[in-house]
């Protein structure tokens, strides 16, 4: 691995390690070592370097929202009356558990958020009672996802 001006170049062995962990973050280090043709200690050292360089961070369990009853995915474009209100608006949106992503954007919206809701009625309730009542929100634009077609990590 080589760090150049806030960018990191990963070598072939790093790529093998990362690709194996992307497939299953619980893959044992010895299995990855065998695939990469290096020792388990070397894999461990490379993982520490990748973490230190912030190429990777932690591991996570991925929940299936549909199984848990969240069947509606919506994207909300939020218009603020003043751009200066962004930090406070985001702070308030963070308190809404159904808001799972929030982006500061260019273009028409000040904020673009992704929500997981039980159904359309739940979405409408969140919009009316929670999101549109955030101080500074002048209006919202809502898009409902019919089906997620691609979900992946960056490829290299």
27 domain residue, yes or no: yes
Does 62 map to a domain?
no
**Residue 90 resides in a domain:** yes
CATH number at residue 123: 3.30.70.920
Residue 23's CATH number = 1.10.10.10
Cβ contact 112:100 at 8 Å: no
Q: Is residue 78 part of a domain?
A: yes
**131 phi and psi, to 5 degrees?**
-75, -50
For the segment 3-47, what is each residue's pLDDT rounded down to a tens digit? 656 678 899 999 999 999 999 999 999 999 999 999 999 999 999
The first and second tokens of residue 19, run together, are 């690709």
Please answer whether residues 88 and 135 qualify as being in contact, where contact means their C-beta atoms are separated by less than 8 angstroms: yes
Per-residue model confidence as pLDDT tens digits over 103-146: 999 999 999 999 999 999 999 999 999 999 999 999 999 999 99
Answer for the pair 127, 93: CB distance below 8 angstroms, yes or no: no
Task: Tell me, yes or no, whether 83 and 119 share the same domain.
Answer: yes
2 to 32, 39, 42, 153: CA distances (angstroms):
21, 20, 16, 21
The pTM (predicted TM-score) of the whole model is 0.82
| Domain residue limits at 18 | 2-52
């Amino acid at each position: 691995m080589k760090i150049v001006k806030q960018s990191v170049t990963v070598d072939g062995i790093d790529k093998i390690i990362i690709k194996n962990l992307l497939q299953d973050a619980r893959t044992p280090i010895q299995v990855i070592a065998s695939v990469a043709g290096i020792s388990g200690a070397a894999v461990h050292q490379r993982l520490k370097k990748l973490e230190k360089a912030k190429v990777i961070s932690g591991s996570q369990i991925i929940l299936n929202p549909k199984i848990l009853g969240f069947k509606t995915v919506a994207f909300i474009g939020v218009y603020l009356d003043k751009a200066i209100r962004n930090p406070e608006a985001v702070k308030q949106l963070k308190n809404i558990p159904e808001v799972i992503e929030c982006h500061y954007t260019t273009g028409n919206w000040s904020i673009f958020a992704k929500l997981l809701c039980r159904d359309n009625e739940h979405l409408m309730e969140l919009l009316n009672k929670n999101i549109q009542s955030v101080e500074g929100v002048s209006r919202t634009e809502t898009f409902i996802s019919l089906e997620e077609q691609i979900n992946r990590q960056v490829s290299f």
